[in-house]
Amino acid sequence: MVTLPSDKEAFIAHYDQSKDRLPGSSLAWLNETRAKNIALFSDIGLPSAKTELWKFTSLNPLKKQAFSAPETSELAANDELPRLIDSTSSVRLVFIDGNYSEALSDSSLPTGLTMESLATVLENGNRDLDQARLTRPRAEEQPFVALNTALMADGYILSIAKDVSLEKTIEILHLGSGKAESTHHTRNIISVGSGSKATIIEHNADHGENVYFSNAATDINVDENATLHHYRVQESNKSAFLISSTEVEVGKGATYDSFLLNTGARLARSEINVSLAAENSACHLNGTYMGTDDQHCDITTRVDHKTPHTTCDEVIKGVLSGNARGVFQGKIIVHEQAQKTVGNQSHRAMLLSDRAEVDVKPELEIFADDVICSHGCTSGQIDEDALFYLRSRGLSQEQAQSLLVNAFLADAVEAVQNEDLKDLFLVRITNWLERNPNKPA
Partner 1 sequence: MLEIKNLHAEVDGKAILKGIDLNINKGEVHAIMGPNGSGKSTLANVLAGRDDYEVTEGGILFDGKDISELEPEERAGEGIFLAFQYPVEIPGVTNTTFLKEALNAQRRYRGEEELDGMEFVKMIRGKTKELGIKDDMLKRAVNVGFSGGEKKRNDILQMAVLNPKLAVLDETDSGLDIDALKVVAEGVNKLRAENNAILVITHYQRLLNYIVPDQVHVLSNGKIRRSGGKELALELEEKGYADYSGEAA
Residue pair 281/253 in contact (Cβ under 8 Å)? The answer is yes
Residue pair 304/285 in contact (Cβ under 8 Å)? The answer is no
Residue 399 lies near partner 1 (rule: CB under 8 A): yes
Torsion, CA 301, CA 305, CA 306, CA 309, rounded to 10: 150
Residue 393 lies near partner 1 (rule: CB under 8 A): yes
Shortest Cβ 350–partner 1 spacing (Å)? 12
**Bridge partners, residue 228, by sequence:** 198, 256
Residue pair 298/57 in contact (Cβ under 8 Å)? The answer is yes
Residue 425 lies near partner 1 (rule: CB under 8 A): no
Q: Which residues contact 228 (CB under 8 A, 6 or more apart)?
A: 190, 192, 197, 198, 199, 200, 220, 222, 254, 255, 256, 257
Residue 378 lies near partner 1 (rule: CB under 8 A): no
Residue 386 lies near partner 1 (rule: CB under 8 A): yes
Q: Which is closer to partner 1, CB of 79 or CB of 414?
A: 414
Q: Which of 407, 423, 427, 434 binds partner 1 (CB under 8 A)?
A: 407
Q: What is the sign, positive or negative, of the torsion defined by CA atoms of 211, 40, 35, 31? A: positive
Piece in contact with partner 1 (CB under 8 A), picked from 25-33, 221-229, 324-332, 404-412 = 404-412
Q: Cα–Cα distance between 145 and 318 in angstroms, integer?
A: 26
Q: Which is closer to partner 1, CB of 241 or CB of 408?
A: 408
Residue 369 lies near partner 1 (rule: CB under 8 A): no
CA nearest to 334, candidates 300, 372, 361: 372
Shortest Cβ 362–partner 1 spacing (Å)? 22
Shortest Cβ 160–partner 1 spacing (Å)? 35
Amino acid letter, residue 109? L
Q: Which of 16, 336, 388, 423 binds partner 1 (CB under 8 A)?
A: 388
Shortest Cβ 24–partner 1 spacing (Å)? 50
Shortest Cβ 407–partner 1 spacing (Å)? 3
Shortest Cβ 347–partner 1 spacing (Å)? 17
Residue 21 lies near partner 1 (rule: CB under 8 A): no
Number of residues in contact with partner 1, rule: CB under 8 A?
22
Q: Which of 161, 368, 377, 410 binds partner 1 (CB under 8 A)?
A: 410
Q: Are strands 99-100 and 90-96 parallel, antiparallel or unpaired?
A: antiparallel
DSSP per-residue codes, 383-406: -HHHHHHHHTTT--HHHHHHHHHH
Q: Which is closer to partner 1, CB of 183 or CB of 286?
A: 286
Residue pair 179/148 in contact (Cβ under 8 Å)? The answer is no
Helix or strand or coil: residue 187? strand
Residue 213 lies near partner 1 (rule: CB under 8 A): no
Torsion, CA 142, CA 144, CA 148, CA 151, rounded to 10: 130
Piece in contact with partner 1 (CB under 8 A), picked from 48-56, 87-95, 345-353, 403-411 = 403-411
Q: CA 183, 48, 286: angle at the middle one, nearest 5?
A: 70
Residue pair 271/300 in contact (Cβ under 8 Å)? The answer is yes
Q: Which of 134, 319, 404, 424 binds partner 1 (CB under 8 A)?
A: 404
Shortest Cβ 316–partner 1 spacing (Å)? 16
Shortest Cβ 394–partner 1 spacing (Å)? 4
- Per-residue mark of binding to partner 1, 326-365 (x: CB under 8 A): ----------------------------------------
Q: Cα–Cα distance between 6 and 64 in angstroms, integer?
A: 7
Residue 114 lies near partner 1 (rule: CB under 8 A): no
Q: Which of 178, 403, 418, 430 binds partner 1 (CB under 8 A)?
A: 403
Residue 408 lies near partner 1 (rule: CB under 8 A): yes
Q: Which is closer to partner 1, CB of 44 or CB of 349?
A: 349
Residue pair 193/161 in contact (Cβ under 8 Å)? The answer is yes
Q: Which is closer to partner 1, CB of 367 or CB of 388?
A: 388
Q: Cα–Cα distance between 109 and 43 in angstroms, integer?
A: 42
* Sites of contact with partner 1 (CB under 8 A): 383, 385-386, 388-397, 399-400, 403-404, 406-408, 410-411
